[in-house]
């Protein structure tokens, strides 16, 4: 049968169901997004006296707040700024005294992934900024300590403080452009994508070996070393509009862009098959227990629907509450950073135990990232099918 003939076939019942589910999911996500958008940000002015102790009255001049004491003397200035970390933004109010030193910092809102933010709190990261000159560069790894395991979160806090301090310094909004960072994480990610594309052209017994090499390297680099696999938080951040500055978050853009491009160009979900570090962990457990794929006819589609709706639910919550980081329920962070609460650990244990018997149980029955990528693949294939049908119509 020719491609044109295949394209002219009507969609199957299952495909129609997927279309209906997809449209319903998009409608739910739009409603959640609007709800989240309408939730207003807290006013800053009442908080100024917190970061400038002794202030009796506050004078607002655009984004700069000047704190005055009972005699009307200037105590200091305050400004707020936000920056996006791994799962969401941190929004800070910074107070600077008349000598130009940081007097106080208030976390106005933070929507970062809970585990990463908790690491900063444990290391007393924010306290380290107090008393320092507001004109300091506040660059991670230079004059600000790197927090291992929460690098992006620490970077976001430093950036927010730097932006707020610059606002005060120049008296107007100046968003300094950070230097472009293209380091080893980005190189490793691009290399993994390139290797995964090359794998699609390898045939024979070498294919399996090559795939295992990519998977193990990805498991060590993207998983245990960087702890930055593709998660639902990435998609939620994208939809909410929490886009980090591209110059120092190239990894984020390469990851999302690379995965999308691979699906659109190759028509295959190469990320899940080859690159996902958690899939690699499951396959390692599968080797230990001689696990077999178990995809029962009929039952698989029914269970897969559960996966899709879990992904929609988590995404909708992330959009409605503007907390992309909290939407990420995958046990990736639990495994790769060894830090989580009781229930994420329980979920991880359940998944890893099942991986000894069933090949990739999380991928097949629970993973929200896989569900989203499969939906993107479905849209791509349906679009291609429609295009072929349109092209074939005049000939018929």
Q: Which residues bind another protein (CB under 8 A)?
A: 42, 46-47, 49-51, 53, 95, 101-111, 114, 117, 121, 126-127, 129-131, 294, 296, 299, 303, 306, 310, 313-314, 317, 321-323, 326-329, 341, 343-344, 346-347, 350-351, 354, 358, 361, 365-366
Complex with another protein: residue 225 or 350, whichever CB lies closer:
350
To the nearest whole angstrom, how small is the minimum distance from the Cβ of residue 380 to another protein?
Answer: 27
Complex with another protein: residue 185 or 344, whichever CB lies closer:
344
Complex with another protein: residue 47 or 144, whichever CB lies closer:
47
Complex with another protein: residue 244 or 325, whichever CB lies closer:
325
2: which 2 tokens? 């020719």
To the nearest whole angstrom, how small is the minimum distance from the Cβ of residue 61 to another protein?
Answer: 22
To the nearest whole angstrom, how small is the minimum distance from the Cβ of residue 297 to another protein?
Answer: 8
To the nearest whole angstrom, how small is the minimum distance from the Cβ of residue 227 to another protein?
Answer: 17
Complex with another protein: residue 197 or 310, whichever CB lies closer:
310
To the nearest whole angstrom, how small is the minimum distance from the Cβ of residue 159 to another protein?
Answer: 17
To the nearest whole angstrom, how small is the minimum distance from the Cβ of residue 313 to another protein?
Answer: 7
Complex with another protein: residue 177 or 297, whichever CB lies closer:
297
Complex with another protein: residue 4 or 107, whichever CB lies closer:
107
To the nearest whole angstrom, how small is the minimum distance from the Cβ of residue 21 to another protein?
Answer: 17
């Amino acid at each position: 049968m020719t491609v044109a003939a295949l394209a002219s076939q009507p969609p199957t019942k299952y495909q129609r169901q997927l279309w209906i589910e997809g449209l319903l999911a998009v409608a739910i996500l739009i409603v959640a997004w609007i709800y989240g958008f309408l939730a207003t940000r807290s006013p800053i002015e009442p908080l100024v006296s917190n970061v400038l102790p002794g202030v009796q009255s506050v004078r607002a001049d655009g984004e700069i707040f000047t704190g005055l004491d009972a005699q009307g003397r200037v105590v200091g200035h305050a400004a707020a700024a936000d920056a996006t970390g791994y799962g969401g933004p941190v929004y800070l109010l910074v107070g600077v005294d008349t000598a130009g030193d940081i007097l106080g910092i208030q976390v106005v809102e933070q929507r970062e992934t809970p585990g990463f933010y908790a690491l900063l709190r444990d290391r007393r990261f924010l306290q380290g900024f107090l008393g320092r000159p507001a004109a300091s560069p506040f660059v991670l790894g230079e004059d600000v300590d790197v927090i291992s395991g929460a690098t992006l979160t620490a970077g976001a806090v430093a950036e927010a403080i730097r932006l707020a301090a610059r606002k005060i310094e120049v008296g107007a909004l100046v968003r300094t452009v950070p230097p472009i960072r293209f380091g080893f994480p980005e190189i490793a990610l691009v290399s993994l994508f390139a290797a995964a594309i090359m794998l699609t052209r390898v045939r024979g017994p070498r294919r399996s070996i090559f795939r295992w090499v990519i998977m193990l390297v990805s498991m060590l680099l993207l998983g245990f070393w960087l702890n930055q696999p593709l998660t639902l938080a990435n998609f939620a951040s994208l939809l909410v509009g929490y886009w980090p500055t591209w110059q120092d978050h190239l990894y984020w853009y390469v990851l999302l862009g690379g995965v999308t491009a691979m699906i659109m160009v190759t028509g295959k979900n190469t990320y899940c098959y080859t690159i996902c570090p958690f899939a690699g962990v499951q396959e390692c457990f599968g080797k230990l227990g001689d696990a077999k794929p178990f995809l029962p006819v009929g039952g698989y589609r029914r269970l897969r629907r559960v996966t899709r709706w879990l992904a929609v639910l988590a995404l909708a919550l992330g959009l409605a509450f503007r907390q992309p980081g909290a939407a990420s329920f995958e046990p990736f962070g639990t495994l790769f950073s060894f830090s989580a609460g009781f229930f994420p650990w329980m979920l991880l244990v359940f998944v890893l135990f099942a991986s000894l018997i069933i090949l990739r149980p999380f991928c097949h029955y629970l993973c929200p990232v896989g569900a989203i990528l499969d939906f993107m693949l479905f849209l791509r294939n349906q679009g291609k099918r429609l295009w072929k049908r349109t092209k074939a119509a005049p000939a018929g």
